[in-house]
C-alpha cells in the first residue's frame, strides 16, 4: 500500500468515529437511539437506504460477474422500482402510523407474540449470516489488494463500526451512510474514467470490444425455471426486495426516522432509484475491465485466477495514489454501512421485541444501556464469526448457513398474508409458516441433484433462486386456505390490513383522528 492511500483511508475512518462522538450526547432515549425521534431529512434517509442496499460485496461481485459473463445478475435489482411503486403508496405511511420502532411489532399485533418472535428470529438469522460473509469477504479482498493481514482488517473494521454505532445510534449510522454515498459515486466515476481513457483506442475501442462480444446482456429469456433465466432472476428479485421493503428492520427504520410521511416516501424513492444506476455502473465496470485487458493487450499476473480478482488488481495497478485510497475507503465504507445498520437494527429488536416486553417497568435509561450493550455484543460476535471464517474453509459453519437459509425465508409472504387477508389469524399464519418451512427444508437439502440428501426423482427440480419465491407463496396460500378452517374473529386484528388502513385514512380525512403508533388500533 502506498502511504497516500493509507492516509485517505485513515482520514475516512477517523471521520466516522468523529460522527459517532458528534451524536453521542444526543442519545438520551431509545426513541432517539433507534429512530432519531423522526427528525432526519428525507434525502438523508434515502442516501442511507442506498448505502444499506449497496454492500461491499457489490464492489467485487458485480464487476466479477460481468467480467466472467453478462449482466444477468443485474435483473433482480431491476425489480426495485416495481416494489417501490407498491410500497410508496401504502406500506411506508402504514408502517409510520402503526408501529413505533420495530417492524415486527406489526406481525405481533396481527398474529400474536409468537409470530413476532418467529419473524425476529428469521430476520436475525438471515442478517447475521450475511454480516459474517460481508465482513469476511471485505477482509479477504482488502488483504489481496494491500497485503494487510486478514485478521487485522476484520478487527479494525469491527472496532470502528461498533465504536461509532454504539456511541451515536441511528443518527451516526445515517450520516455516515450519507458520507459513504458520496464516496461511492466519486469512486465509481474515477474507476470508469481510467477504464475508458487509459487504453490507446480510448472509449470507442473499449465500447466496440464489449459490444461485439455480447457482454452487455441480461441473459436468457427462455421460460425455464430450472436455470438462472431472466424470468427466474426477476421473480427472485421481486420477492427478495419485497421482503426487504416490508419485513426488513434496517429498511423499515429508514421509513420511521423521516420527519413526515411525504419526506419518508421521497427519501426512500431517492435511495431506491439511485441503487439501480449504481448496480448498473458496477456491471459496466466489470465489462469495461474485460474490454480493457482485451484492447490493451496487457496480461494479468498468474495469481489472478478468478474473475472477482480482476477489478481489485486493476485498482492497485492503474489507479494513482490517493485516488485508489479513496476507492478503498468507499469499499470499507460500504461494508461498515451494512454492518452498522444491522448492529443498530438487531439492537432495536433486542430491546423493543424482547426486553421491553419482559421488563415493561424498566426505565428509559436502563433500556438505552441495554441497547448499547446489545450493539457491543452483536459487533463482537460478528467479528468472531468473520475471524472463524478466515481461518477455516467454511465446512465447520456450513450447517449454520444451511439452517439459517431455511429459517430466514417467508417474511414477505407473512407480510402479504397479514396485510391483505383479514380473515387470517394466528392459527392460519402458523399453517402458512409451517408449510413454507417444510418446503424450504426439503428444497434446500435436495438441491443440486441431492448433494446433501439425494431423493432421486423427488429432489427439488428448480433453480435454487426459486426456493425463496415458492416459500413466500406457500405462506400466503397456506395461510389463506387455513383461514377458512381457523377464521380470525378478532375485529382489532382484522382492522390491521390494507382495507382497514384505507378505511381509517378516509375517516381521518373527514375528521376522525388517526391512531398513534403505540396505541391499540
pLDDT tens per residue across span 482-494 = 999 999 999 999 9
Please name every residue paired with 40 in a beta bridge, in sequence order, or none if there are none. 258
Q: pLDDT tens digits, residue range 384-407?
A: 888 887 776 544 444 444 555 555
Give the single-character DSSP code of 258.
B
pTM to 2 decimals?
Answer: 0.89
Instruction: Measure the CA–CA gap between 241 and 322, rounded to whole angstroms.
Output: 36
pLDDT, position 27: 92
pLDDT, position 394: 47
pLDDT at 146 over 50: yes
The residues near 206 (Cβ < 8 Å, ≥ 6 apart) are: 195, 196, 199, 288, 291, 292, 295
Instruction: Measure the CA–CA gap between 128 and 96, rounded to whole angstroms.
Output: 26
pLDDT at 410 over 70: yes
Instruction: Measure the CA–CA gap between 74 and 58, rounded to whole angstroms.
Output: 11
Percent of the chain with pLDDT over 70: 93
pLDDT, position 517: 52
pLDDT, position 254: 93
pLDDT at 212 over 90: no
Q: Which residue has the cell 483506442?
A: 201
Classify domain 3-24+39-408 by CATH architecture.
Up-down Bundle (1.20)
- Show the cell assigned to 309: 480478482
Question: Rounded mean pLDDT of the chain?
Answer: 87
pLDDT at 439 over 80: yes
Instruction: Measure the CA–CA gap between 209 and 200, rounded to whole angstroms.
Output: 13
Q: pLDDT tens digits, residue range 10-62?
A: 999 999 899 899 999 899 999 999 999 999 999 999 999 988 888 777 888 88
pLDDT at 468 over 60: yes
pLDDT, position 397: 44
Q: Report the SS3 class of residue 487.
A: strand
pLDDT at 300 over 60: yes
pLDDT at 518 over 50: no
What integer is the mean pLDDT of 245-258?
A: 94
- Go through the chain and tell me how many residues it has: 521
- Show the cell assigned to 397: 459453519
Instruction: Measure the CA–CA gap between 521 and 515, rounded to whole angstroms.
Output: 6
Lowest pLDDT segment from 153-167, 376-390, 409-423:
376-390
pLDDT at 442 over 80: yes
Grade residue 416 by pLDDT with cuts at 50, 70 and 90.
Answer: very high
Q: Where are the domains of the chain?
A: 3-24+39-408
Instruction: Measure the CA–CA gap between 420 and 360, rounded to whole angstroms.
Output: 31
What DSSP string runs through 415-478?
HHHHHH-TTB-HHHHHHHHHHHHHHHHHHHHTHHHHSSS--GGGS--S-TTHHHHHHHHHHHHH
The residues near 358 (Cβ < 8 Å, ≥ 6 apart) are: none
The residues near 236 (Cβ < 8 Å, ≥ 6 apart) are: 76, 465, 466, 468, 469
Percent of the chain with pLDDT over 90: 47
Instruction: Measure the CA–CA gap between 127 and 121, rounded to whole angstroms.
Output: 10
Nearest by Cα to 328 from 514, 142, 516: 142
Instruction: Measure the CA–CA gap between 86 and 93, rounded to whole angstroms.
Output: 12
Which has the higher per-residue pLDDT, 519 or 469? 469
CB count, 10 Å around CB of 401? Answer: 14
Amino acid at each position: 500500500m502506498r502511504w497516500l492511500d493509507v492516509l485517505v483511508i485513515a482520514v475516512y475512518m477517523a471521520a466516522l468515529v468523529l460522527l459517532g462522538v458528534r451524536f453521542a450526547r444526543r442519545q438520551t432515549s431509545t426513541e432517539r437511539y433507534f429512530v432519531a425521534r423522526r427528525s432526519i431529512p428525507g434525502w438523508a434517509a434515502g442516501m442511507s437506504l442506498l448505502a444499506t442496499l449497496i454492500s461491499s460485496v457489490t464492489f467485487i461481485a458485480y464487476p466479477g460477474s460481468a467480467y466472467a459473463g453478462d449482466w444477468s445478475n443485474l435483473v433482480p435489482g431491476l425489480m426495485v422500482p416495481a416494489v417501490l411503486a407498491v410500497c410508496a403508496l401504502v406500506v411506508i405511511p402504514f408502517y409510520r402510523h402503526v408501529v413505533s420502532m420495530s417492524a415486527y411489532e406489526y406481525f405481533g399485533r396481527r398474529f400474536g407474540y409468537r409470530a413476532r418472535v418467529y419473524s425476529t428470529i428469521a430476520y436475525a438469522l438471515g442478517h447475521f449470516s450475511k454480516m459474517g460473509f460481508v465482513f469476511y469477504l471485505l477482509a479477504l479482498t482488502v488483504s489481496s489488494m494491500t497485503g494487510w493481514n486478514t485478521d487485522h482488517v476484520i478487527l479494525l473494521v469491527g472496532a470502528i463500526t461498533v465504536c461509532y454505532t454504539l456511541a451515536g445510534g441511528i443518527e451516526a449510522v445515517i450520516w455516515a451512510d450519507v458520507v459513504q454515498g458520496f464516496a461511492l459515486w466519486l469512486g465509481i466515476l474515477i474507476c470508469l474514467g481510467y477504464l475508458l481513457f487509459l487504453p490507446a483506442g480510448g472509449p470507442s475501442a473499449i465500447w466496440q470490444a464489449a459490444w461485439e462480444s455480447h457482454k452487455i446482456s441480461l441473459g436468457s429469456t427462455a421460460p425455464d425455471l430450472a436455470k438462472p433465466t431472466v424470468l427466474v432472476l426477476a421473480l427472485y428479485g421481486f420477492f427478495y426486495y419485497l421482503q426487504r421493503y416490508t419485513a426488513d428492520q434496517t429498511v423499515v427504520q429508514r421509513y420511521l426516522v423521516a420527519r413526515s410521511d411525504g419526506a419518508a416516501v421521497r427519501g426512500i424513492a431517492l435511495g431506491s432509484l439511485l441503487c439501480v444506476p449504481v448496480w448498473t455502473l458496477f456491471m459496466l465496470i466489470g465489462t469495461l475491465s474485460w474490454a480493457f485487458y482485451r484492447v490493451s493487450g496487457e496480461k494479468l499476473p498468474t495469481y489472478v485466477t478468478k474473475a472477482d480478482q480482476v477489478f481489485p488488481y486493476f485498482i492497485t495497478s492503474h489507479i494513482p495514489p490517493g485516488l485508489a485510497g479513496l476507492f478503498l475507503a468507499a469499499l470499507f465504507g460500504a461494508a461498515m454501512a451494512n454492518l452498522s445498520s444491522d448492529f443498530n437494527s438487531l439492537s432495536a429488536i433486542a430491546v423493543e421485541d424482547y426486553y421491553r416486553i419482559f421488563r415493561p417497568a424498566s426505565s428509559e435509561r436502563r433500556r438505552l444501556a441495554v441497547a448499547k450493550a446489545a450493539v457491543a455484543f452483536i459487533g463482537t460476535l460478528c467479528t468472531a464469526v468473520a475471524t472463524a471464517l478466515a481461518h477455516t474453509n467454511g465446512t465447520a459453519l456450513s450447517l449454520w448457513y444451511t439452517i439459517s437459509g431455511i429459517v430466514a425465508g417467508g417474511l414477505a409472504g407473512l407480510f402479504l398474508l397479514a396485510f391483505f387477508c383479514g380473515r387470517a389469524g394466528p392459527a392460519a399464519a402458523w399453517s402458512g409458516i409451517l408449510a413454507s418451512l417444510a418446503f424450504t427444508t426439503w428444497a434446500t437439502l435436495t438441491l443440486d441433484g441431492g448433494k446433501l440428501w439425494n431423493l432421486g426423482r423427488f429432489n427439488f427440480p428448480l433453480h435454487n433462486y426459486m426456493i425463496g419465491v415458492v416459500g413466500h407463496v406457500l405462506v400466503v396460500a397456506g395461510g389463506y386456505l387455513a383461514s377458512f378452517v381457523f377464521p380470525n374473529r378478532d375485529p382489532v386484528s382484522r382492522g390491521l390490513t390494507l382495507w382497514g388502513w384505507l378505511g381509517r385514512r378516509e375517516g381521518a380525512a373527514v375528521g376522525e383522528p388517526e391512531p398513534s403508533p403505540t396505541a391499540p388500533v
